[in-house]
Every structure is written in C-alpha cells, then in structure tokens.
Amino acid sequence: MSLFVVGTPIGNLEDLSFRAVRVLKEADYVLCEDTRVTRNLLAHYEIKTPTISYHQHSGLSRTDQIISWLKAEKSLALVSDAGTPGISDPGAALVELVRKECGEEVLIESVPGPSALAAAISIAGVGCDRFLFLGFLPHKKGRQTMLKQIVASEYPAVVYESKHRVFKLLNELIALQENFQVTICRELTKKFESVYRGSPEKLLAAFEADAVTTKGEFVLIIGKEKKQKTK
C-alpha cells in the first residue's frame, strides 16, 4: 500500500512527468482539491482513475476513509490543483496523519513535479541560495507579523499572491520605507508568462497603468538592494 504525493502542472499541461502519468493511471484513487480541475488534467492524458475530493475543509469521515483504504492495501495518489502538494496547501496535513496512523505500513513516495516557488526562482535572476518562504500572506491576522519578517530577513522573501491583493502588498511594501527590489513572476508556464522587476513604487505604477498585468497568479521575490561598499 502506498501514498504517492504527485506534482502536477501549474499551468502548462505538458509539464506532467512520465512517472506521474504512470502513477496516476495505476493508483486506485486520486485525492484532489477540486475534482473538476483534476479531471481536466486526467482527461488530457486519458487517465480514468476515480477522483476523490480532499481539501482543507474535508472532515474526519473523509480522512478516516483514506486511512482505511491505505490499510486495505489501496494505492492512492495525492495531487493539488496545481504544483506540488504540501507547499501552501493541505497535503502536508494528510501526509502527517498517514505517518501517525499507519507508520511504516504505508510507503509514502514523492513523485516530483512543478512548483511555482522553484519556477519563479529559476527565472528571476536573483541569488536565492538562501531565502525565506512565506507562502500566501494572511488576509488580516498575522499579516503585519509576516511583513516584519520580510523587513528583518537578510535573505530574499518569497510569497504567493492573488490578483486581488497584489496591489495591497505593493502598497504595504512602499509604506515600510525599505529599499526593496521586487521580482514579480506572473502566470508561470502559461502563454502570457511575465517577469517584472524593480522597486515597489515602480511596479505599482506599471500595474496601475496596465490592467492586463494584474490578471493571473503571482509569485513575488522581495529583497533589499545591496548597498555599495565604500573604499
């Protein structure tokens, strides 16, 4: 019995690996955030494995069912709507539960695949051998705490943001009055993939001037401009 944690495309359907296709075909069930989204991916690859919803609001009855399937030697594949489960989604909670309830009886395997985090860093042109990853910032409670972490960090901070709140974040960065340099990656792997770089003020002005730039999903890499050393 196995639980496969499968990375799926973040936009371009061609980014599903050969191994991921095989695992998804051979699994007894695919656990997914939104069955409609995952079924579109499976249909593209002619995969007919049944899909079962599993998300942050799934109750105890669903998790009990998953554990019982695994103990009955079923093979399950866990996917998110896009990217690698466990990174800013509820997949990590399920993996922790399976380890607790099943121990070594269940083999938990990673089937690596796309991640917006890795994709953004790879094309940003920013030194990120060390970085602070904060995922999606909270709407309200805890947001200011995370912004203070960004200010205090000696390494670039990487955050996810939606089109509805990217303006808010840029304004917050401006208000902090730090010498930030921000790289924004939009619509990664999709037709209109774009990368923008500059101060929060410059990026805010550019986004306000062109509404098209605020469509899609965003990854922001927030660093501080390094001061030139004086001789």
Strand 2-6: give its sheet, edge to edge.
51-53, 29-32, 75-78, 2-6, 107-111
Question: Please, what is the Cα angle at 150 between 146 and 153, to 5 degrees?
Answer: 125
Mean pLDDT of 128-133: 91
Q: Is the pLDDT of residue 90 over 90?
A: no
pLDDT for 52: 95
- Residues of the chain with pLDDT > 90, as a percent, come to 75
Q: Which two tokens stand for residue 137?
A: 């910032």
Which tens digits make up the pLDDT trace of 30-88?
A: 999 999 999 999 999 999 999 999 987 777 888 899 999 999 999 999 999 999 998 87
CA angle at residue 191 from 186 to 197, to 5 degrees? 30
Determine the Cα–Cα distance for residues 86 and 225; give it in Å rounded to an integer: 31
Say if residue 227's pLDDT is above 70: no
Strands 157-162, 217-224: pairing is antiparallel
Based on the number of CB atoms within 10 Å of its own CB, is 80 exposed (0-12), middle (13-18) or buried (19 or more)? buried
Helix H or strand E encompassing 220: strand 217-224
Give the CATH number of domain 116-224. Answer: 3.30.950.10
Contact 7, 111 (CB under 8 A): yes
Q: Tell me which CATH code domain 2-111 carries.
A: 3.40.1010.10
Secondary structure of 72-136 in the HEC alphabet? Answer: CCCEEEECCCCECCCCCCCHHHHHHHHHHHHHHHCEEEEECCCCHHHHHHHHHCCCCCCCEEEEE
- Strand-strand pairing, 132-136 and 157-162: parallel
Taking 80 as the threshold, does the pLDDT of residue 214 lie above it? no
Domain layout of the chain by residue ranges: 2-111, 116-224
Q: Do domains 2-111 and 116-224 have the same CATH topology?
A: no
Whether the pLDDT of residue 225 is over 80: the answer is no
**pLDDT of the residue at 50:** 97
* Token reading at 131: 């970085």
DSSP designation for 26? H
Read off the pLDDT of residues 193-205 as tens digits, 9 standing for 90 and up.
Answer: 999 999 999 999 9
pLDDT at 194 (0 to 100): 92
Average pLDDT over residues 136-147: 92
Residue 210: name the closest of 192, 189, 183 by CA. 192
User: What pLDDT digit, counting tens, does each position of 91-124 carry?
Assistant: 888 999 999 999 888 999 999 999 999 999 999 9
**Over the chain, what is the mean pLDDT?**
91
pLDDT of residue 226: 67
- What number of other Cβ atoms are within 10 A of residue 64's Cβ? 12
- What per-residue confidence (pLDDT) applies to 60? 80
Query: What integer pLDDT is reported at residue 92 of this predicted model?
Result: 87
